[in-house]
Structure 1
């Protein structure tokens, strides 16, 4: 005889109860990344619109390769910016750093060292700018907005001085060959492969390493992260170094794409990268974000730009459309935050 209130040993195990109103489909949707699925839906709609309005042009192999190639440059920058925003920071200097790195790497003196020298120069310039940003912010206690705004102005000015306002034409054949169809791998441009590699590495860093977990922790609550033993200052420095590295890589990709270096390169990249990260689910306040979402955001914006160009629509309308998407994404973030907090 078992005592009252006890369960007999041979009684069948109780089946887990599903919370009221949550069936198997609801549970599946809760586990899915709804934001990324939404972005995929938006991208599918844009592709459908392009297929209807300009089927022969939009769906052509050449145009799809062009869209992916254009997305690759800003996409690499966005990966670095996403890490910075997740940590609670901001980097307004990425476009100017891309311009400075592309100009410095395409000078006649640098071109004498060939492809390797140009690539190394672009990366070192990007990392150097990231180092300055990181030191000012992490160890100089400067507000990220002010520090990176100062870098934006300085890098643009230096790029203008180095280039003397002129376009620097690249004459190194191995660099120019990377932009030709003969260098495509199974029909995929090399720049797209670089973008894919950077995206994969970024995803692994964020989701499978202590570096990623520390970045999220610093963005969520810097003081709690410090008390947990995380060197917050060093982490912030490393994050801005990573952003600078991505800018250096993107600068070299832009040289390959355009065959030149100009002080106007990377114009408004900072806005495009931040916007792509935001609509991809990265919180401006830090503590949350995904590389996948940011990449989808880049593809959405690049596809919109391509559609507007093919349909001969004004650039002003394109900017208005981008602005509306950004506002909608921020409103969704606020609503999601209120729902999670309630």
Structure 2
């Protein structure tokens, strides 16, 4: 029996104003996914080559190195920090790898490169936790030092690497069916990182440290240890990106990886991880990475000037930060 109340009165969600607000809220909270879908639709109309398998795999392959750095940055930013040294650590890794490969072989070279990346990351974490140096300053210093060390070791030149065919296949030019091996390796790292962040105690500790370090400490979490670990992880992943660079190009390049850290930060922020830390998603970092990668790709397919592409990158970073700030402001209002 009717009580005289219509459907819109009993369920305010269906009211026109509330519905539009709900849709707007969903779009703002999922801006990375929304932006990626819009970008794919528009790009498919602009170029007939955009949605081909070869082109999409090419995009994925080109952005594997930035993707690995972005994974490390996701953990760092969720913990409340920032790391500007990823591109420089990548460059140092390529030079160390090229110089050490003839001496210790492929397996030994991989181990040496990973240790170099871990050392760079751990030093960043130690400077921040023990030295009380702000993350921006500590990692800016590491960026300069790692790039300088790469130039010293290489004497300022590109170092040709003597690499085993197995290494080149696995880290550079090999394919498993239609899938480039670097894409497959990076996908595995993305999956492992996503599971670690969302379903493990360590992932919860990283989020708690970024959200409330004082509360995390009172809960028994070793806050400084967690902070050192995320910077070490970032260094390891940057070194792995260096291995992909080495496998693909076959050279140690002291100037390699320029601005990779900025693209990585943009991918993380576009994916919705706020600079204040506490929350974040590896999956959405991948979505943010694809927004940047596909933007560059369609501009290339349309023969847009590289200078315009750099302009587009700057716009993307600024817009991403703007939305990040707006999301954080809206979140605080709800609380």
TM bin, normalised by shorter chain, reads 0.7 to 0.9
Alpha-carbon distance, 1:45 to partner: 3.1
The residue aligned with 2:38 is 45
Paired residues for 1:44-63 under 5 Å: 44-56=37-49, 58-63=50-55
Aligned partner of 1:237 among 223, 228, 239: 228
SS of alignment partner, residue 176 of structure 2: coil
In the alignment, does 2:191 pair up with 1:176?
A: no
The residue aligned with 1:11 is none
The residue aligned with 1:81 is 73
Aligned length: 318
Which deviates further from its counterpart, 112-121 or 84-93? 112-121
Aligned equivalents of 2:156 and 2:48: distance in 1?
40
The residue aligned with 1:152 is 143
Is residue 36–residue 293 contact of structure 1 (8 Å, CA) maintained in 2? no
Alpha-carbon distance, 1:154 to partner: 0.4
Is residue 111–residue 117 contact of structure 1 (8 Å, CA) maintained in 2? no
The residue aligned with 2:313 is 322
- Gapped runs of 5+ residues in structure 2? 1-8
Distance 1:205 1:33, change over 3 A: farther
Backbone CA RMSD of aligned residues = 2.3
Deviations 1:157-179 (A, max 9, x none): 00011111221222322222336
Distance 1:179 1:253, change over 3 A: closer
Aligned equivalents of 2:221 and 2:92: distance in 1?
33
The residue aligned with 2:275 is 284
Paired residues for 1:299-314 under 5 Å: 299-314=290-305
Distance 1:19 1:271, change over 3 A: farther
The residue aligned with 2:4 is none
Aligned equivalents of 2:69 and 2:107: distance in 1?
21
Distance 1:52 1:102, change over 3 A: same
Distance 1:274 1:292, change over 3 A: same
Distance 1:271 1:45, change over 3 A: same
Structure number with higher helix proportion:
2
Aligned equivalents of 1:85 and 1:211: distance in 2?
15
The residue aligned with 1:99 is 91
The residue aligned with 1:252 is 243
Aligned equivalents of 2:324 and 2:140: distance in 1?
25
Deviations 1:108-134 (A, max 9, x none): x43343321222122111001011111
The residue aligned with 1:115 is 106
Aligned partner of 1:190 among 177, 181, 185: 181
In the alignment, does 2:221 pair up with 1:221?
A: no
Distance 1:19 1:73, change over 3 A: farther
Alpha-carbon distance, 1:36 to partner: 7.6
Alpha-carbon distance, 1:327 to partner: 2.5
